Each structure stands twice: as C-alpha cells, then as structure tokens.
Amino acid sequence: MNSFTQRENQTMSCRTLDTRKQVVVAAVKAFPGGRECAAAFIGEENFKRFENRIYESAGMKPLTNGEVCALETEAKTSFMPDYICAMYGGVFVRLPDAEQLDNVDLYQRALAASSQRGELDHMVAMALEDGEIDASEAKKIRALHTKYLSASLETVAAVIELHKAKN
C-alpha cells in the first residue's frame, strides 16, 4: 500500500476528534504494529508508562507534540494537524512530495477527492430527508466537508508541483 493510499484510509472516515487525548489515542492506534511498536519507536521502554502517557492517567505527562508527530509521520496519518486546524476553523493540507508524484498519483488523488465529495453529498441528502439538519448531522457534514476540501486542495497542489515550469 503506497503512502497516498494509507492517507486515504484515514481520511475516508468522517470521525471528528474533539480532544487532544482522542488524537493521541487515534495516532497510536494507527501506528503499524500497534501500541508496543509505537512505544519502541519513540524510545519508551516501559510499556505501562507509555499507556499511562497515552491516556494521561496515573499522573503521567502526555505524549509530547513531537512524539505524536513522529508517530503520525511514520503511520502517514494527520490526526494532530487536522485537530489543530479544526480548532482554528481551518483545514490541514499536506503538501505533496514532488519526487513521489506522477500522473497515476494525480489520478488517485482526484478520484479520492471525487469519492469524498460523493460521501459529503450523500450525507447532506440523508440529513435533509426529514427536512432539517440536526447537530449530529451537521457535525458529520462539516467533518466530511473538511476532508473533501483537504483532498481537493492536495490534488491541486500536486498538479501544480508535478507540472510546474522548470526554470
């Protein structure tokens, strides 16, 4: 599975993470090999201590932003930047790595954005069946819209990066 596909596996979910703790739990859960591998990856030798840091229990300090970033970089997820951007009313857009881009990747990105737009439209249609959008439906619609916008902006950035003039 390429890195783009792994990222799409994360973004296809409309789950919204509301707290930093939820973000940390999701990042650790997404780490290849599970929690034990995540602990080893950041150099935490005491697994119980690591679990306490994940769940902010037993008076332990939580994982640092740097540790969460390291785990997410390895797992190719973006729970933390998505969470932070949402706090500011924004959308996280991962800038493409020019060396890994090709036309197949552009097509996959465009297809994923289209699929996310379809999910968004479907959710809106379902929410409107009773003539109004409740708070839960609105939250899901906003989360799907954010994922769609992010995927669309990433696609445009990738097209520009791949086809920019070579001066």
Each residue of 101-134: pLDDT tens digit? 999 999 999 999 999 999 999 999 999 999 999 9
**What is the H or E stretch that residue 122 is in?**
helix 103-127
| Structural domain includes residue 60 | yes
Lookup result for tokens 């552009």: 106
Q: Is residue 154 within 8 Å of residue 93, measured between CB atoms?
A: yes
Domain boundary among 28, 58, 87: 87
Q: What is the mean pLDDT of the chain?
A: 89
31 within some domain: yes
Percent of the chain with pLDDT over 70: 90
Q: Specify the pLDDT at position 1.
A: 40
Report the domain count for the chain: 2
What gap in Å lies between CA 112 and CA 99, rounded to an integer?
20
- For residue 90 the two structure tokens come to 């924004």
What b-and-e string marks burial along 39-74, b requiring 16 or more CB atoms within 10 Å of the CB? bebbebeeeeebbbbbebeeeeebbeeebbebbbeb
Q: Are residues 64 and 27 in the same domain?
A: yes
pLDDT value, residue 56 = 92
Quick check: is 7 in a domain? no
The residue out of 55, 87, 119 marking a domain boundary is 87
Going by the DSSP 8-state scheme, the letter that residue 154 receives in this structure is H
Which conformational region is residue 131 in: left (phi greater than 0), alpha (psi within -120 to 50 degrees), or beta? left
Looking at the domain assignment, is residue 68 inside a domain?
yes
In the predicted structure, residue 45 carries a pLDDT above the cut 80:
yes
Q: Same domain, yes or no, for 73 and 17?
A: yes
Which one of 41, 61, 87 terminates a domain?
A: 87
pLDDT at 15: 58
35 belongs to a structural domain: yes
Query: Quick one: pLDDT at residue 100?
Result: 84
Q: Are residues 19 and 81 in the same domain?
A: yes
**pTM of the full predicted structure?**
0.75
What does the pLDDT look like over 49-97, one tens digit per residue?
999 999 999 899 999 999 999 999 999 999 999 999 989 989 999 888 8
- Looking at the structure, do residues 75 and 132 belong to the same domain, yes or no? no
Residues 49 and 108 occupy one common structural domain: no
Task: With a cut of 80, say whether residue 40 has pLDDT above it.
Answer: yes
Residues 22 and 70 in one domain: yes
Domain holding 132, by residue range, is 98-163
Torsion of CA 148, 153, 156, 161, to 10 degrees: -140
What pLDDT is recorded for position 111? 95
Which pair of structure tokens corresponds to residue 64? 């640092």
4 part of a folded domain: no
pLDDT of 96? 85
The contacts of residue 41 (CB under 8 Å, 6+ apart) are 31, 70, 71, 74
Model confidence band, residue 7 (pLDDT cutoffs 50, 70, 90): very low
Q: Judge whether residue 4 has pLDDT over 50.
A: no
**Which position has the higher pLDDT, 3 or 79?**
79
